[in-house]
């Protein structure tokens, strides 16, 4: 019986979040609140542990990683609630790293080469996605704590970059040495965009703070549990996970 109640509550919340047009401040049922959100994210897509092949992170540039969405929260028991919604978000990263013996597949002067690269990699990652979060909430005065899983569908994505200022050992550490320069025509490029995973899952924890009855600020941490790239893609030999923090504003009806 309790499972049926929770399932029905979740369906009501999801319907409200997905079709908010019929909801206004005057007709929202008791125990239900609707929030419009906007935020900015900072983070990266990287392995959980830094492999020895990555010697240093030389630069990190902010990218327009934005989030827009609508959430609906249903009161379940006293201060506890259930929240779901629909978000459109962009997760991006622009960074340069120094590598030594880092496995790569790249293109230089229309020739595809693969092996262990030592030098500088300038990497750009971005993905636009639709995200459905499902969160338990705990409301304490003006603060709402929230945590739960999310599922994302990638609408479009890019995982590409430039390798320069080094060399590649083709095949294995003792393979032929190919010089990768730092000028146009000497460097090499790579593009792994077609190997981005279409469906991604993770967990979110965060908090909303109501400044007034309608306006507030929020902070969230999104941690991907599935690799950003498909398991079948073996060129990058470590799973990369999207981990982003988001600061935002919300308006509550």
At 69-86, the pLDDT tens digits run 999 999 898 899 999 999
Calculate the dihedral angle through the C-alpha atoms of 185, 194, 168, 110, rounding to the nearest 10 degrees: -40
CA distances from 9 to 96, 167, 175 (A): 46, 58, 61
The pTM for the full model equals: 0.83
> What is the structure's pLDDT at 52?
87
pLDDT at 6: 47
The tally of CA atoms less than 13 A away on the side-chain side of residue 29 is 10
pLDDT at 49: 82
pLDDT at 103 over 60: yes
Q: How far is CA 143 from the centre of its chain?
A: 25
Tell me: pLDDT of 157 over 80: yes
- Each domain of the chain, given as residue ranges in start order, spans 2-21+30-252
Fold of 2-21+30-252: Porin (2.40.160)
Q: Please provide the average confidence, as pLDDT, over all residues in the chain.
A: 88
Query: Which two structure tokens, joined as six digits, stand for 183?
Result: 């000028």
**Of the given ranges (13-17, 65-69, 135-139, 219-223), which has the lowest mean pLDDT?**
13-17
DSSP state of 195: G
Q: What is the mean pLDDT of residues 29-45?
A: 88
Which carries the bigger pLDDT value, residue 19 or residue 109?
109
**pLDDT band with cut points at 50, 70 and 90 for residue 29:** low
Question: Is the pLDDT at 21 greater than 60, yes or no?
Answer: no
Distances (CA, A) of 58 to 229, 241, 243: 23, 20, 19
Q: Where are the alpha helices (DSSP H) in the chain?
A: 2-18
């Amino acid at each position: 019986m309790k499972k049926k109640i929770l399932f029905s509550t979740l369906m009501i919340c999801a319907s409200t979040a997905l079709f908010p047009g019929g909801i206004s401040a005057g007709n929202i049922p008791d125990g239900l609140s609707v929030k419009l959100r906007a935020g900015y994210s900072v983070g990266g897509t990287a392995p959980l542990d830094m492999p020895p092949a990555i010697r240093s992170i030389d630069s990190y540039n902010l990218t327009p990683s934005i989030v827009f969405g609508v959430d609906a929260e249903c009161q379940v028991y006293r201060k506890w609630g259930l929240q779901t919604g629909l978000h459109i978000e962009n997760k991006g990263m622009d960074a340069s790293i120094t590598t030594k013996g880092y496995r790569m597949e790249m293109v230089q002067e229309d020739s595809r080469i693969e092996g262990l690269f030592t030098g500088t990699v300038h990497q750009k990652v971005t993905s636009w996605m639709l995200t459905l979060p499902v969160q338990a909430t705990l409301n304490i005065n003006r603060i709402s704590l929230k945590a739960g899983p999310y599922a994302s569908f990638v609408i479009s994505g890019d995982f590409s970059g430039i390798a320069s200022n080094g060399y590649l050992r083709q095949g294995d550490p003792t393979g032929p040495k190919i010089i990768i320069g730092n000028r146009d025509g000497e460097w090499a490029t790579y593009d792994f965009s077609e190997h981005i995973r279409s469906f991604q899952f993770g967990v979110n924890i965060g908090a909303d703070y109501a400044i007034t009855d309608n306006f507030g600020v929020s902070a969230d941490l999104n941690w991907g549990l599935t690799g950003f790239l498909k398991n079948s893609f073996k060129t990058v030999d470590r799973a990369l996970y999207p981990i982003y923090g988001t600061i935002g504003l919300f308006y509550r009806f």
